[in-house]
Amino acid sequence: MNTPILEMKNITKEFPGVKALNNVSFQVTEGEIHCLVGENGAGKSTLMKVLSGVYPHGEYSGDIIFGGKVQNLRGISDSEKAGIAIIYQELALVPEMTVYENIFLGHEIKNGILIDWNETIKRAGEMLKKVKLNVNLAEKVRDLGVGKRQLVEIAKALSKDVKLLILDEPTAALNEDDSENLLNLLRDLKNHGVTCILISHKLKEVIEIADSVTVLRDGKTICTLEAKKGEVSENTLIKHMVGREIENIYPKRGNRQIGEIVLDVKNWTAYDPTLGRSILKDINFYVKKGEIVGLAGLMGSGRTELALSIFGNPDGYKISGEISVLGSQKRFKLPEDAINAGVAYVTEDRKGDGLILIQDVKQNITLANLKEIANRGVVNENSEVKVANEYKVSLNIKTPSVEQIVSNLSGGNQQKVSLGKWLFVKPNLLILDEPTRGIDVGAKYEIYTIMTKLVEQGMSIIMISSELPEVLGMSDRVYVVSGGKIAGELAILDATQEKIMHLATNY
Amino acid sequence: MSFLQDARKLLQQNIREYGMYIALFVIMTIFTITTQGTFISSRNIVNLVNQTGYIAVLAVGMTLVIVIRHIDLSVGFLGGFLGAIAAIAMVQWDMPVYLAIPFTLALGVLAGAITAFLVAQMKIPAFVATLAGWLIYRGAILVVTESTGTIIIPDKTFNAIGNGFIPDIPDIGILPGIHKLTLIIGVIAIVLLIFSEINSRQKKQAYNFEVLPMEMFVIKLVFISALIGGVTWLLAGYQGLSWTAVVVLIVVTIYHFITTQTVLGRHIYAVGGNPEAAELSGINVKRITYIVFGSMGMLSALSGILFASRLQSATTTAGQLWELDAIAAAFIGGVSPAGGIGKVAGSIIGALVMLSLTSGMNLMGIGISYQYMARGAVLAAAVIFDVATRNRAH
């Protein structure tokens, strides 16, 4: 058990202006589950890209020894030949192809020059058994949920005789059941001799599954901890990750002045014509001034759809029901109308539909409220820079300048830009959809602090979140959504993780 | 920081933008040498500008269409068709020219709105919708010119747009043979430019924003002034500023202003950069699509007018391949096929590159077959350069 299957020695990788990896050494023992943790921008993904050949030999310095041999990997195909497979957060499956086509895509089983489909289907079936996935092989990947797609991806990796499997935040997009399922599968694979590197922000799951954990910080290896020796605990991990101890990750609650009802939603029902079914059924809820209302629930329960249907309904659902904002009835036909009524919505997927990645920080921050800095339709660029700099300072956005292109920022800082953009709209009600997904502990704490400050200033917040500790730590009141309905409302003093899960899964 | 370091930093940061200007400069220099100076003669430059006109206005509109992630293949024959409509309006319906032109432009906007309806409302891919338009307008040209063939346009005012020059001030005895009003306009342009640059620099300094170092700023101003001055001098040496050049300058100025300075411009680039995010930011994506295709239709009409006026007639072949020249000009000018990136001024340079190649090779007596190949190679090279420098910037 103690032979290292992988040794990365003194790896240094530089990008123009940044040392992403600075003399990193990293060792993985054969047959273990090794977790790699660190804040965003610590260098985890870069290290894995070096290992999988995305950054070819020669673009970095240092040695990779895998399976006892020094490897000079020049691309993903090289690393796959060596027995290393990597599964990214953004899955690399072709949605329009079937499960079996996807599993053998790129290394098709051939009979002469033709593809042997019978053998392909047989072998694909065996692979699915290995990952304990029970779906029709001929189903298109498009029709599978995220959790199942992930398993298909793992099946694909296994079909290549993988010795080392790397998973980059595999559970970020999964609900609790699917996550648990995936972790069990990893344990099972371990028993069958597959070594695993897991990158994750979810420390609970790291503690649950890891044999050893390596912490990276600012492009350097901080330490490697062994589970057997009892070195792995949430506090030690956080301490090593941020370089300081965070006593309480949720900021202290100041005195919140909870006032009148800001948003009141009544008998809200929505039908999605593209899916051909109702997605929201008879929803009633309200939000008061100065309050953080948590919307808990599983992925796919309808929380995001609820937020979108309120926020001008950009997806074109057929809606019935009433909304009133500050006592007066409203009908939002477009997001524009909602924004004008003082509602802002920070999306779940900041890269997909939150930010304009090819534009710079200042353009993103001012986008939703250009009229504020424009005079008769002409943008005043000087006040734009001024506004952007104000948010850069107040939200502590780490960027060399507000002229930096947003795609160059780390996840946490992108999220702050997204937040800044919606704060500049000066809303009464801020809807945050998974505000801390995929961002590191330090940035999370900053976002929580900002939220606390905002409600103290009289803003109202709806927080959609899949992380129960976050819901419990931040909310004043919790609604649990399940199956497109409000399954229950809990005062924060009564709410526990168990109660929320019970409501969320009970429909 | 030393002067040389400043210069290098500026060049590195803006290599993509300066690349086009350098390419244009190189192409012009080569042709000037190979044609023993004929290429750079006043007469040829004036001709070049007039020939570029109808493609240049299309390229301006096409820039915005590509920026919002669409394409418009119908613009060439739409322009040709509307040019014929303008001719028919004047010749057969006796419409006065001052009415015929706005009437044609309005038809262009309408045609653009129909495209936008198909693309934004019916969700038909722009490539398909405008390919249909391409066929329809091709047929329409043939229909309207069927009975008469080429329609000769007798109206002098109309024909002056493509062939005429702005009038000169009365001769006062100095600078004989030089078009003085053109010179005066050039000088005014330089003065205005310097004034506005200094003004904007001072404003930025008042806010403590980063500005170019003083030496670089002065060099930039001297360079641009020399460029405008040189072109003005060349034009003034022949018959002065042509009406076509005036039209193009007005179009470019308006579109440059809209795209860089206004809320509308920001919204267009936001829709191109990420349509979903733009929608959720309160931008009406459908409205932007209507505006961009509407403007494209109007500019197609303008392009048709410029062309018909230049030929003093409407022909059955007007519009052939214009759309591809306009698209090529936009890509040479640095517009990103993925959307969200591209400047109007760049596309004009792109159009000038394309037309300089044609003009220069014509002067050298190179056959049309090799001309196509050369233009194709330049298009590929320009886009390769663009992609290579973009990757490095990241």
What confidence tens digit (pLDDT) does each residue in A164-204 have?
999 988 877 677 788 888 899 899 888 888 899 999 877 88
Token pair for A167: 């998973």
* Packing angle, helices B75-91 and B126-144, rounded to 10: 30
| Per-residue pLDDT at B393 exceeds 80 | no
Chain B residue numbers touching A310 (CB-CB < 8 A): none
Residue B392's pLDDT is what? Answer: 52
Hey, are the CB atoms on B276 and A407 less than 8 Å from each other?
A: no
Which residues fall within 8 angstroms of residue A108, CB to CB, at 6 or more apart?
A115, A120
Q: Select the residue from A336, A358, A362 to test the B interface by mutation, using most B Cβ atoms within 10 A.
A: A358
Q: Considering chain B, what is the average pLDDT of its residues?
A: 89
Q: What is the CATH number of domain A250-342+428-445+458-507?
A: 3.40.50.300
What confidence tens digit (pLDDT) does each residue in A63-74 have?
899 888 888 888
Q: Give the C-alpha separation, B117 to B113, whole Å.
A: 6
| Per-residue pLDDT at B208 exceeds 80 | no
Q: For residue A497, which amino acid is it?
A: Q
Q: Select the residue from B280, B285, B389, B390 to test the A interface by mutation, using most A Cβ atoms within 10 A.
A: B280
Residue A168 phi/psi, 5° resolution?
-95, 105
Average of pLDDT values for B348-372?
A: 91
Average of pLDDT values for A90-94?
A: 76
Q: Give the C-alpha separation, A283 to A290, whole Å.
A: 22
Measure B364 CA to nearest chain A CA, in Å.
43
Residue A18's pLDDT is what? Answer: 64
* Structure-model confidence comparison of residues B152 and A483, the more confident one: B152
Q: Does A2 contact B at CB distance below 8 Å? A: no
Q: Does A400 contact B at CB distance below 8 Å? A: no
Query: What is the DSSP pairing of strand A429-433 with strand A460-464?
Result: parallel
Find residues 318-347 of chain A whose CB sits inside 8 Å of chain B: 334-336, 338-340, 345, 347
* Structure-model confidence comparison of residues B147 and B372, the more confident one: B372
| Per-residue pLDDT at A221 exceeds 60 | yes
Q: What secondary structure does DSSP assign to B58-92, as a single string?
A: HHHHHHHHHHTT---SSHHHHHHHHHHHHHHHHHT
Q: What is the domain partition of chain A in residue ranges?
A: 4-242, 250-342+428-445+458-507, 351-426
Average of pLDDT values for A402-413?
A: 86
Which residues of B touch chain A, with CB atoms under 8 Å apart? 203-204, 207, 209-210, 261-267, 269-270, 273-274, 276-284, 340-341, 394
Chain A residue numbers touching B12 (CB-CB < 8 A): none
> Which of these, B13, B303, B369, lies nearest to B137 by C-alpha position?
B303
Q: Give the C-alpha separation, A317 to A309, whole Å.
A: 7
Chain B residue numbers touching A359 (CB-CB < 8 A): 269-270, 273, 340
Residue A287's pLDDT is what? Answer: 95
Taking the whole predicted model, whether its pTM rises above 0.90 is answered as no
Measure B209 CA to nearest chain A CA, in Å.
8
Q: Does A363 contact B at CB distance below 8 Å? A: yes
Q: What is the CATH number of domain A4-242?
A: 3.40.50.300
Q: Give the C-alpha separation, B161 to B53, whole Å.
A: 10
| Per-residue pLDDT at B66 exceeds 90 | yes
Q: Does A166 contact B at CB distance below 8 Å? A: no
Average of pLDDT values for B267-289?
A: 94
How many contacts, defined by CB atoms under 8 Å, are there between A and B? Answer: 87
Nearest CA in chain B to A403: B210
| Per-residue pLDDT at A451 exceeds 90 | yes
Chain A residue numbers touching B277 (CB-CB < 8 A): 347, 352-356
Average of pLDDT values for A217-239?
A: 83
Q: Does A207 contact B at CB distance below 8 Å? A: no
Q: Is B370 exposed, middle or buried (0-12, 13-18, 19+ CB in 10 A)?
A: exposed
Q: What percent of chain A has pLDDT over 70?
A: 96
Q: What percent of chain B has pLDDT over 90?
A: 57
Range among A218-232, A275-289, B124-138 rated most confident: B124-138
Hey, are the CB atoms on B269 and A359 less than 8 Å from each other?
A: yes
| Per-residue pLDDT at A400 exceeds 90 | no
Hey, are the CB atoms on B273 and A421 less than 8 Å from each other?
A: no
Q: Does A315 contact B at CB distance below 8 Å? A: no
Chain A residue numbers touching B283 (CB-CB < 8 A): 336, 367
Q: Give the C-alpha separation, A28 to A5, whole Å.
A: 6
Chain B residue numbers touching A406 (CB-CB < 8 A): none
Average of pLDDT values for A71-84?
A: 85
* Structure-model confidence comparison of residues A152 and A89, the more confident one: A152
| Per-residue pLDDT at A333 exceeds 60 | yes
What confidence tens digit (pLDDT) does each residue in A9-52 have?
999 988 765 678 888 988 999 889 999 988 766 788 889 888 88
Residue A84 phi/psi, 5° resolution?
-110, 130
Measure A198 CA to nearest chain B CA, in Å.
28
Query: What is the DSSP pairing of strand A318-325 with strand A292-297?
Result: unpaired
* Structure-model confidence comparison of residues A446 and B392, the more confident one: A446
Q: Give the C-alpha separation, A242 to A2, whole Å.
A: 30
| Per-residue pLDDT at A281 exceeds 80 | yes
Q: How far is CA B36 from CA A135, B234, B364, in A?
A: 75, 16, 10
Average of pLDDT values for A139-148?
A: 82
Residue A261 and residue A327 in contact, taking contact as beta carbons nearer than 8 Å: yes
Quickly state the pLDDT bin for A264 (edges 50, 70, 90).
Answer: very high
What confidence tens digit (pLDDT) does each residue in B103-148 have?
999 999 999 999 999 999 999 999 999 999 999 999 999 999 888 8
SS3 B114: helix
Q: Give the C-alpha separation, A297 to B156, whole Å.
A: 74
Q: Select the residue from B9, B121, B257, B274 to test the A interface by mutation, using most A Cβ atoms within 10 A.
A: B274
Which residues fall within 8 angstroms of residue A387, CB to CB, at 6 or more apart?
A362, A365, A366, A372, A373, A424
| Per-residue pLDDT at A109 exceeds 70 | yes
| Per-residue pLDDT at A419 exceeds 90 | yes
Quickly state the pLDDT bin for B262 (edges 50, 70, 90).
Answer: very high
* Structure-model confidence comparison of residues B176 and A434, the more confident one: A434
Residue A245's pLDDT is what? Answer: 55
Residue A41's pLDDT is what? Answer: 66
Which residues fall within 8 angstroms of residue B261, CB to CB, at 6 or more apart?
A378, A379, A381
Average of pLDDT values for A490-498?
A: 86
> Which of these, B351, B384, B329, lies nearest to B66 by C-alpha position?
B329
Average of pLDDT values for A358-369?
A: 94
Average of pLDDT values for B298-327?
A: 94
Residue B380 phi/psi, 5° resolution?
-60, -45
* Structure-model confidence comparison of residues A253 and B376, the more confident one: B376
| Per-residue pLDDT at A481 exceeds 70 | yes
Nearest CA in chain B to A425: B281
Q: Considering chain A, what is the average pLDDT of its residues?
A: 87
Residue B375 phi/psi, 5° resolution?
-70, -40
Phi-psi region of A295 (alpha: psi -120 to 50; beta: other; left: phi over 0): beta
Q: Give the C-alpha separation, A344 to A361, whole Å.
A: 19
Residue B257 phi/psi, 5° resolution?
-60, -50
Other beta carbons within 10 angstroms of residue A145's beta carbon come to 14
Measure A456 CA to nearest chain B CA, in Å.
25
Average of pLDDT values for A299-312?
A: 88
Q: What secondary structure does DSSP assign to B258-313, as a single string?
A: HHHHBHHHHHHHHHHH-HHHHHHTT--HHHHHHHHHHHHHHHHHHHHHHHHHHHTE
Residue B267's pLDDT is what? Answer: 96
| Per-residue pLDDT at B20 exceeds 60 | yes
Residue B394's pLDDT is what? Answer: 41
> Which of these, B85, B78, B50, B58, lies nearest to B161 by C-alpha position?
B50
* Structure-model confidence comparison of residues A215 and A178, the more confident one: A215
Residue B97 phi/psi, 5° resolution?
-60, -35
SS3 A481: strand
Nearest beta carbon to residue B273 from set A314, A356, A378: A356
DSSP structural state of residue A58: T
